[in-house]
Amino acid sequence: MTTFRKPQTKAPRREPEQPALRRLAACFGAHPLPHLLISPFENAVLIANRAAERHFGIDCEGFAHVKFSDLFEQDSIGFLHVATQQAMSQGFAWTRALRPAGASDAIGALEHCLVAEKSEGTLLILMSIQDVDAHERRSIDDEADTMHRAGLSEWRRAERFLREIERRHHLILSAAGEGIYGVDANGITTFVNPAAEAMLGYRADELIGLEMHQKVHHKHSDGSHYPVHECPIYNAFRSNKITTVDDECFWRKDGKPLRVEYTSTPLLENGEAAGAVIVFRDISQRKADEERLRGALSENAALRERLEKENAYLQEQILTQSNHHQILGRSEAIQRIIRQIDVVAGTSANVLITGESGTGKELVAGAIHQASARTDRPLIRVNCAAVPRELFESEFFGHVRGSFSGAIRDRVGRFELADGGTLFLDEVGEIPLELQSKLLRVLQEGSFERVGEEKTRQVDVRIIAATNRDLKAEVEQGRFREDLFFRLNVFPIECSPLRQRRDDIPLLAQHFLRLSCQRLNVAEPRLSRANVEELERYTWPGNARELQNVIERAAILARQGRLMFNLPAGPKAKQPTRELPVAGVASRILTAAEMQDLEERNIRAALNLTGGRVAGPNGAAELLAMKPQTLYSRLRKLDFAGSS
């Protein structure tokens, strides 16, 4: 409580007697602003006018029984003391920090003016109280009265100015390409611009005055309910934050979804949320373009991966394929195969090529593909005998990342690589029985799924299969599906072994010799008649592949243009001989070159057996039953390298 010093003399409580004072007292009592005459040292109210009685809710008699400081809230007593001291020291003081005791929150700001005056030796303070908000309203009314008094022309000028501002604002909203609408603090639509009308299909009068969320934002894009309390537009002005959403759905009047991005900006009035302005634009075309671009990029990535795989497989084929690029031979068996290729190449029929290893089954498959309409697409080779059983499905159909241990990325299978082309299944009899049904499905329906993926993929693939097994016997023994065999064996081609077409050996040998020398960058030696006869006498269990290896090895070891073959020991083929009867025994006449070749092969065999050792115990000279010096002389004559 404020402590006041006692006045030296007490102010008298009596009615003024002079007429002027009575009129002053009447004006004081009738003044519209609350006024109090206070004795600060007594902390007492001497006089209060009727406005003060209404302000504090105390009648005239009541002021005589309350202290002056009790008229104000206890929290503001300190400000009362400061203002009183200031008025006493400088004659007046102003403060807005005082509030009447028990005042409601509805009372606005109050300004208190304290004026100190000494009367008959006694210090008194006159306090007047003014409502600040009421004062500002009177100022505004006074300005309006001033404008009104200025004349009708001034008022019309102001009206025209306001209308011009409104028109320009309307033009700006109408010219905006983005949709714009406003809502109040309850979500009720307050305005809608023409662009919003065009995008939403509503007229402005169909939206203004209604809750916008329930009209255009009530469902998610999947059709599920969109609760209003989750709406970012509402949260924007309720949390006083600008909210931007880059992909959501507004619903048009015709019930169709409209993909939009929008920004909701809160509107504030006196620090309180008054609503929001929402600016949105149609992003349907942009999102469609983005999705098409993502699809194109995904397709390009898949195509790039496929081309990379194709390239890798083709490079592998280049490294592993035979060094001849056409079917060579003049035998009837080769001519029959060529005729079969001409017949089947132009069709899409599956082909089953049978024959021993090394008879050129892969070469026949390549010739069929090159002569077909699929020649511009790849020929993909799968060696079924080289694929581990647990990886067959992944090898054929591919897999997705994480489908099994070690699947660290997506992989394209051979069927997908061969789409539009030809798939060559070498050693098809090695395919596990449990996978044959899936292979049959692809052949029948042209569809498959990658391992670990549910998406069904369609392919157009021609199958050429090859085997050195008797698949009919495999079917009878239950190791190969009969229905798959019939699917593969649409057009069978049999490749005869080399021992059954000896007429092709000279042509093949010369061809292999030329290719080997080109690759090895060595001079091409002469393939003599004796060389050809030696090759024709051999049974060639490895067929053309073995012939190629023998020719290449001979090209490496050739000396002075002469070829030497080191054919494995084994049964020889029957060879027509030129015979003369001598003492009842048939003998074959050998030429000098044949005798020299025979001697060279004999010496080479001895050197191979002894590891190149000529002299000493268990040396080549001892095996040949000749002196070491004689053997050295023969080696120099035959131009052997590395003799010791």
CA dist 245 and 318 (Å) reads 55
Q: Give the pLDDT score at 410.
A: 80
Domain end residue (candidates: 496, 518, 536): 496
The beta strands (E) that lie in 337-481 are given as: 351-355, 379-383, 398-399, 411-412, 422-426, 447-449, 456-458, 462-467
- pLDDT tens per residue, range 193-234: 888 888 888 988 888 888 888 888 888 888 888 888 778 877
The confidence score (pLDDT) of residue 313 equals 60
pLDDT score of 573: 46
Beta bridge partners of 562: 526, 559
pLDDT in tens, 81-129: 888 888 888 889 999 888 888 777 767 788 999 999 887 778 889 999 9
216 closest CA partner among 190, 197, 236: 197
Max mean pLDDT range (240-244, 337-341, 385-389) = 337-341
pLDDT at 484: 92
Assess whether 30 and 95 both reside in one domain: yes
| Per-residue pLDDT at 66 | 86
pLDDT of 154: 61
| pLDDT for residue 464 | 95
What does the pLDDT read at residue 428? 92
Domain range for 129: 19-136
Q: Are 616 and 583 in contact (CB under 8 A)?
A: no
Residue 467 and residue 353 share a domain = yes
For 322-347, write each residue's pLDDT tens digit. 433 468 888 888 889 999 999 999 89
Domain limit, last residue, from 451, 471, 496:
496
Residue 571 or residue 50, greater confidence? 50
From residue 89, alpha-carbon distances to 7, 82, 92, 93, 114 in Å are 16, 11, 8, 9, 12
Question: What's the pLDDT at 574?
Answer: 44
pLDDT tier at 157 (50, 70, 90 boundaries)? low
Query: In total, how many domains does the chain have?
Result: 4
Is there a domain that residue 132 lies in?
A: yes
Residue 632's region, left for phi above 0, alpha for psi from -120 to 50, else beta, is alpha
pLDDT of 261 > 70? The answer is yes
Please tell me whether residues 361 and 461 are part of one structural domain. Answer: yes
Is residue 556 situated within a structural domain?
Answer: no
Buried-state track 148-181, b at ≥16 Cβ within 10 A, e below 16:
eeeeeeeeeeeeeeeeeeeeeeeeebeeeebbbb
Residue 159 is predicted with a pLDDT of 64
Does 295 map to a domain?
Answer: no
Same domain, 238 and 120: no
Candidates 90, 85, 106; CA nearest to 41 is: 85
d(CA 557, CA 549): 13
Q: Is residue 125 located within the same domain as residue 178?
A: no
pLDDT in tens, 122-151: 888 999 998 888 888 888 878 777 766 666
Same-domain status, 277 and 352: no
**Best-predicted range by mean pLDDT among 445-449, 568-572, 639-643?**
445-449
Q: Looking at the structure, tell me whether residues 348 and 430 fall in a common domain.
A: yes
Categorize the per-residue pLDDT at 461 as very low, low, confident or very high, splitting at 50, 70 and 90: very high
Q: Which CATH number characterizes residue 335's domain? A: 3.40.50.300
Report which of residues 501 and 587 the model is more confident about. 501
Query: How far apart, in whole angstroms, are the C-alpha atoms of residue 592 and residue 599?
Result: 11
Residue 642 has pLDDT above 50, yes or no: no
**Which one has a higher pLDDT value, 7 or 342?**
342
The whole-number pLDDT of residue 6 equals 42
Res 149: pLDDT: 65
Q: Tell me, what's the pLDDT at 156?
A: 65
Q: pLDDT tens digits, residue range 400-416?
A: 887 777 777 788 888 98
112 and 192 co-located in one domain: no
Least confident of 174-178, 292-296, 573-577, 630-634: 573-577
Q: Which of 183-187, 271-275, 297-301 has the highest mean pLDDT?
A: 183-187
Quote the pLDDT of residue 641.
47
Residue 601 has pLDDT above 90, yes or no: no
In terms of domains, do 227 and 128 share one? no
The whole-number pLDDT of residue 640 equals: 62
Query: What pTM was estimated for this model as a whole?
Result: 0.44
My answer on whether 132 and 172 are in the same domain is: no
What's the pLDDT at 581? 41
The candidate with the shortest Cα–Cα distance to 132, out of 175, 174, 98, 170, is: 98
Predicted confidence at residue 317, as pLDDT, reads: 54
346 within domain boundaries: yes
Domain containing residue 626: CATH number: 1.10.10
Question: Cα–Cα distance between 198 and 200 in angstroms, integer?
Answer: 6
Q: How much is the pLDDT for 5?
A: 38
H or E segment at 259?
A: strand 257-269
Name which residue leads in pLDDT, 248 or 586. 248
Confidence bin at 354 (pLDDT 50/70/90): very high
The chain-wide mean pLDDT, for the chain, equals 81
For residue 128, the Cα-to-chain-centroid distance in whole angstroms is: 75
Query: In this structure, is residue 599 part of a structural domain?
Result: yes
Pairing relationship of beta strands 422-426 and 456-458 according to DSSP bridges = unpaired
- Residue where a domain terminates, one of 444, 476, 496: 496
Q: Is residue 37 part of a domain?
A: yes
* CATH code for the domain in which residue 246 is found: 3.30.450.20
pLDDT of residue 331: 87
Pairwise pLDDT comparison (157 vs 33), residue with the higher score: 33
d(CA 476, CA 456): 33
Express as a percent the part of the chain with pLDDT over 70: 84
Helix H or strand E encompassing 257? strand 257-269
Alpha helices in 245-391 (DSSP H): 284-320, 332-344, 361-370
In this structure, the answer to whether residues 178 and 243 fall within a common structural domain is: yes
466 and 380 part of one domain:
yes
**Element housing 272 (H / E):** strand 272-282
Domain assignment present for residue 512? The answer is no
Q: Name the pLDDT band for 352 (thresholds 50, 70, 90).
A: very high
Question: Higher model confidence: residue 13 or residue 382?
Answer: 382
